[in-house]
Each structure stands twice: as structure tokens, then as C-alpha cells.
Structure 1
């Protein structure tokens, strides 16, 4: 009888961690990642409803997606050196839905830090999806286009994001230009994009400042 009981326990464990059960768990939760895009803020810890969720995120860091139960959340941002004590640098409410993916960006300089929330769409099909976020606090509105060619994304101002633009897979040489001009302020060479994948390009840092203007390219969805 002992071997029968052991067999039952093994089967129960396999069922508990089966792909179907993992999918059900994912669908019952939201997936959230955090991007530190504030050029003068220190490394930060992110607390959700009073509990540490993301630790020691520095400028340009992107966390992995983490599962959160759906509903309204209280997000608190602390300098990592504070160990979650005292007054947070920022406190903001955030509502997330089950089965959805989110990117939460800390944007702006430390004196006016804010959270920007994006819903991330997982890609599919033969095209690649590309959207952009303007997170450089001292840069003007910008266009993003093929180097020496047409703009793919136009007139994007600080804290704004574009919708996904669907493009053929391949390797692209892009550039960032002040909106309505053909003069590049930042080249983005050799960006590979894959079919069936959505991407978010985040312009962050400072124009003619330190840290300098840069772009990070993220794959969206989990």
C-alpha cells in the first residue's frame, strides 16, 4: 500500500506543476515589470501593498516580470539605502487585471518622479510590433525613423508613448530626430526585430547631459 500512496503523491505533484496549472496561475494574476528611467534618482526598491517586490533597481535597469494578484495596488518607491523605512520617494495607486502584462516606468527627475504604466501586448504573426516611450525629461518632442528615411513614430513628447507600429522582421538602422526635422540626435544602429515579437523602445537619459540620451529595447509580454 505504501507504493500506491507514493504513486498518488507523485501524480498529485505533477498535476500541481503541469503546464495547464501554470497557465491557470498566470491567467489568474497580472505580470508586472519595472523600468528605472529617472536619470538622477538613486537605486530604488519598489514595495507593493507594503511588501518588497523589486530590490535595488538602478537607472536603466529592467526587472523581470513578476506575478501580482489583480486589483488596486499601492506602489511605494524608496531609495534602496532606506531599506523601506521612512517616507517613500513616491507613492501611487495602480490597478492591474488578471492575465495582462504591464510595464511600470519611473520617469522624470527625482524632484517630480512619477510612474507611467503601459499595458504590454505579446506579439504574434509574421510582423514585429514596435512602440516607443519618451522618457528623457529635457529632450524635445521627437520622431523615430529609419536612418535617412521616413519617420515610423512621430511627434512623441516627454512621458508620451506611441501605439505599436507593425514592421517587417529584420535588422534596422533607426535614428531619433527632433520632431519635424531630419537631423538625428541619436543613432540606433543594427536593431534586430523578430517576427511575432512586440518591442518597446524607451528613450531615456538627458540630451546634452549626464547620463547621456540612450535607448533600451525590450521584448514585451510573458
Structure 2
């Protein structure tokens, strides 16, 4: 008996039977929209709530690795629409803490980047001492990352290639700022940051 008959597929966004994910939940994501705030230009495809949040969590924390292809397709459609990003763009995934990446079976952001069809360069990593930032405020997040984002030798994009920093959710923007700062210090231009979702309450889609 096919396993699908024993365990029918369900949408990780809303729990509906027979689709993974359903069209209604996918409609939560739109074209890249600028996230308000200082720092590098950050663009998001959805607000971090409802179905979009559930899909991201299913991919990130609940083992739904097949969503890499779904999110990769969204990224593939969004990158050419980012200002200042020309052909031949490379994606640099935002790093995860080593323990979190091990628990997820590897970097989920790198998995999504590779599924997009763009060249991906896992050029960044966190040094030891970075804490889980979920309950940290802006100042604490900045202090948490200060001096703890490092380049990974041998994994940089080629010189002169346009680079997009890729992440799954932006909250305060501290991670984006720290990563872009390290890349720019190495002579790597980052015209845009792309994230699936934003948790900033000032951000909306319509």
C-alpha cells in the first residue's frame, strides 16, 4: 500500500488535506517589498504571521525539507526584481548556530538557496558564543553578534559577483547588518538582502 494512503499529505501552512502546500497558503507570499529601517536594503516576501509563518517553521523546525523547492522557487522569482542586482547574482545564506544547523540536518537557508537555481556561497559562519536570539531585544542581538560573524575561507563568491544575503526571517535586522558588514569589509558588495518573511510590525502586504 502506498505510504500516501496511510499518511495523506497535508499542507504545512493550514493543515488542509491533499496539498503540500496549498495554493491559498502560497498566496501569502508576494513580490519582494522593502522592509522599513536603517541599514542594508532588506526585502521580504511576506509578513511573519499566519500561513507564511507556519510554512517557514515547518521548513526550519519541523523537518519539512521538501519545502526547500517551494521556497527556492519563490527566491528564484524574487532575486531578479531586487534593485541593483544584475545577472550572475550569487546567494550567501545567513549563518545559523552550529547546534541549530546540526539539529536541522544542515543549513536550511543554504538548502533553500541551492534549490533556487542561483549559485550559492556559504561564506559566513557564527563564531562560538552566539546565543539563540529569539528572546533578545535589538541591543542584545547586536551585542550577541558583535565580532562573532566570520568569513569561511574557500567558500566566498567570485570577485565582482553581485551578492544577495538570503535569510528566512528578519526581526530587528541585526543579523543582516552584521553579515553585510563582514562581507563588505572583505570587498564583497551586497546590494540587497532577501528574506522570506519579516517580523517587523510596520511591514504589511496588500
Give the TM-score, by structure 1 length. Answer: 0.25
The higher-RCO structure (CA 8 Å, 6+ apart) is 2
Q: Whose helix fraction is larger, Structure 1's or Structure 2's? A: 2
